[in-house]
Structure 1
Amino acid sequence: MLWVKAFHIIFVVCWFAGIFYLPRLFVYHAACEDTEGRERFKIMERKLYRGISTPSMVLTLIFGFWLISYSPSGYFSQGWMHAKLLLVAILVAYHFYCGHLVRVFRDDRNTRSHVFYRWFNEIPVVILIAVVILVVVKPF
């Protein structure tokens, strides 16, 4: 069980590294004014999303559900776990929306400013804070 937990934490860290950095790339991409720079951002965004973020998300979910499988009735009887899983579902939706944005930038269809992406970048921070508090403190 400890190996499963260790790998879950490792892939959570990797997923969040990608989910923090990808919207930051969107900030810079939205502000970029030269074609060469925009093309470079397209490559970086694609590689980060497909090569790091998405595999890390999948492995996070696999190891997370593997952990739950050790005691499903124990975990699902606790309110904090329900709240955590809701936040994870929101984060998964955020992740897939980032994938949509990768395609929007790839196709040169972005209409939002870098300021929007600066705010958009804060969503996973709030989710991370809430999830860590739920898992460590178990307030309910």
Structure 2
Amino acid sequence: MGIEIKKIHNLNINTKSEEYQKQLRKVSEEFAAWYVYEVFKKMYDTVPKSGLLQESFGERWFREMLLQQYALKASKTDLKDLSEMIYRSLGGKKLTEEVNSPNNLEKRSETLKLLNSLIFKNEESGG
């Protein structure tokens, strides 16, 4: 019973604290990276293989790690808007007033359209 009370006590988290916001941002970037990794993986799977050389375990492992690193880098740089949208949707605070600027809203809209088209294509292909 003491454990249950402790678990309930830990649920009382200060969502406005700076540490919580840092962790939320990190989780948002990791989730965006995971999503981008899945897209990269699906893209790689569409590349035709000749079958001339058998793929080794080491090659598969290296490719998976490489795709994960590409996805993580993309979510922190080129697709920063995606991780920012996830961060905001989870209750993250605005860092600057630029978040609601017309230019940024247009970028967010374009990113959402791209994600929706990727999801739609994936559903059509049965993935």
- TM-score interval for Structure 1 and Structure 2 normalised by the shorter chain: 0.3 to 0.5
Larger-gyration structure (1/2): 2
**TM superposition score normalised by structure 1:** 0.37
What TM-score, normalized by structure 2, do the two folds share? 0.40
- Give the helix-richer structure, 1 or 2: 1
Higher relative contact order (CA 8 A, sep 6+): 1
